[in-house]
Amino acid sequence: MTDDRPSVLYSLSSTTSGGCEKQMLFLAGKMVERGYRVTFAVPAVPDVDSLATELQGSGIHVVRIPGFGSGVPSDWVRVYISLRRLVRTLQPAVIHIPLQWPYRNLLSLLTARMCRVKYIVQFHLVPPPSTFFPERYLLGPLTERLIRSADFLATVSEGNRRKLLQTFRLDPRSIKVVVNGLEFDEMSACPDADVARLREKMNAANRPIVAVVARLARQKDHDTLINAAPEILEAHPGTVFAIAGDGPLREKLGRKAAELGVETSFRFLGHFKEIPALLHAADVFVLPTRYEGFPLTVMEAMAAGKGIVVSRVDGVEDLVEHGRTGLLVEVGDHRDMAMKIVRLLSDTGLRRTMGTAAAESIRSICRGVADTWNSIYREFATDIPPVLHEMKGDGYRTAALSRKGDVACKTG
């Protein structure tokens, strides 16, 4: 029996789970609802597997490929062979290739090009120039050529678009802005019992909470918040800083908090699944960061109606209107961050006003994204043939996974 639904392959080389990965899984679920046969190619690593297990039970097919996303050249040939076999088996109408760091997803670009399948390149971040000689001078030119050959180029914010035009010397007409989507209703409300339970668990039942949801990595600049903590605690001594996320800087950040004498005020929650409860328990949401695309955690905090303080970077400025839907601070300025957080903690009315405006804004910004992608895919899906073969091993393993929920968004 054949399956005549249009087929979309998402080829995701990320070896960690973050906003980009959640966004692609979210989008895939929306495409299943709209009648697509969706397959995900992902690395066979625990971090990605744990994210994929959240989607079990619906109609997304996940293929885990050993070595995918690896920086080790000896893995590349077998990954390319696995991707090529997968494409030949699926015969997708289009391959959707999200890019954070292009060189790590070069094989997806190359496979799509060599198999003569139409492909979409979507940038979630603008990559800084590589300092690794083979990447910059050997892989770089090939990657740029494959990017420019894509059938559709997209990115998630106008700030990203400006940088991409400079980085890859693209035609301004060739790249479109399609913002991220959001499960608005899932983030806009949370049972009071869940919030109360989390506050008790963090020993913060009647204390102000400043929440951060971000990987413990250099990009996210947690140092700035830790440096701001003494001034915040001087104004609001009981404040609890709840940090959801894990990463390579966990021990370093803990030592820094101890050096400043604020370690008892910090709760490092690690890989944390109760994000709605954390956001609704928080009095203020903070994202200290050095660069962003269109940050999902800020979108979620806005949907939860929180007062937010975020570093002023490209992508964030497209999302947060300073003084109306949140407060922006200069990157690395811990004194300014402390002042803005204290301002929100001290003014309940201001937090509520900004939170309400933020929720209304993100609902408007994120209206219709799934429909936009549906329209883009339909341009490629008019002559898709039925699947000719059942999935086999071919060096990868498969699992049936999926997602539920509703979407929202717009094109920029």
pLDDT, tens digit (0-9, with 9 covering 90-100), for 72-88: 888 999 999 999 999 99
Residues 290 and 376 both lie in one domain = no
Maximum distance among all Cα pairs of the chain, rounded to whole angstroms: 69
| pLDDT score, position 119 | 96
Q: Which CATH number goes with the domain that contains 13?
A: 3.40.50.2000
Decide: helix, strand or coil at residue 35: coil
| pLDDT score, position 133 | 58
Whether pLDDT at 390 is above 60: no
Full domain range(s) for residue 40: 7-181+367-401
- Averaged pLDDT, 236-257: 96
For the chain, the domain total comes to 2
In a domain, 204, yes or no: yes
Rounded Cα distance, 54 and 398, in Å: 15
Please state, rounded to an integer, the average pLDDT across all residues of the chain: 86
Residues 150 and 21 both lie in one domain = yes
> Is pLDDT larger for residue 5 or for residue 221?
221
Residues 220 and 141 both lie in one domain = no
Residues 127 and 196 both lie in one domain = no
Q: Return the residue matching tokens 């086999």.
A: 392
Rounded Cα distance, 304 and 199, in Å: 17
Strands 94-99 and 307-311: unpaired
Residues 17 and 136 both lie in one domain = yes
pLDDT, tens digit (0-9, with 9 covering 90-100), for 163-200: 888 877 778 888 999 999 998 888 999 999 999 999 99
Element (H, E) at 58: strand 56-65
Residues 76 and 97 both lie in one domain = yes
> Is pLDDT larger for residue 52 or for residue 333?
333
| pLDDT score, position 412 | 34
Rounded Cα distance, 111 and 79, in Å: 10
Whether pLDDT at 399 is above 60: no
In a domain, 406, yes or no: no
Q: Could you tell me the sign of the dihedral formed by the alpha carbons of 30, 289, 48, 55, in that order?
A: negative
Q: Which residues contact 113 (CB under 8 A, 6 or more apart)?
A: 119, 146, 149
Residues 144 and 230 both lie in one domain = no
Task: Write out the two tokens for 331.
Answer: 């990157």
Residues 211 and 330 both lie in one domain = yes
Q: Which residues contact 14 (CB under 8 A, 6 or more apart)?
A: 20, 21, 42, 43, 48, 69, 98, 100, 104
Residues 324 and 380 both lie in one domain = no
pLDDT, tens digit (0-9, with 9 covering 90-100), for 90-137: 999 999 999 876 567 899 999 999 999 999 999 988 766 666 556 666
∠ CA 269-271-275, nearest 5°, is 75
In a domain, 410, yes or no: no
Q: Could you tell me the sign of the dihedral formed by the alpha carbons of 383, 389, 390, 391, in that order?
A: negative
In a domain, 411, yes or no: no
| pLDDT score, position 73 | 83
Rounded Cα distance, 327 and 310, in Å: 6
Residues 171 and 210 both lie in one domain = no
Residues 154 and 200 both lie in one domain = no
Q: Return the residue matching tokens 């966990």.
A: 250
Rounded Cα distance, 322 and 398, in Å: 46
Rounded Cα distance, 265 and 203, in Å: 10
Task: Write out the two tokens for 9.
Answer: 């392959």
- Averaged pLDDT, 9-17: 88
Residues 200 and 158 both lie in one domain = no
Sheet harboring 266-270: ordered strands across? 266-270, 240-244, 209-213, 284-287, 307-311, 327-329
Which of 70-79, 84-93, 281-290, 315-324 has the weakest average pLDDT? 70-79
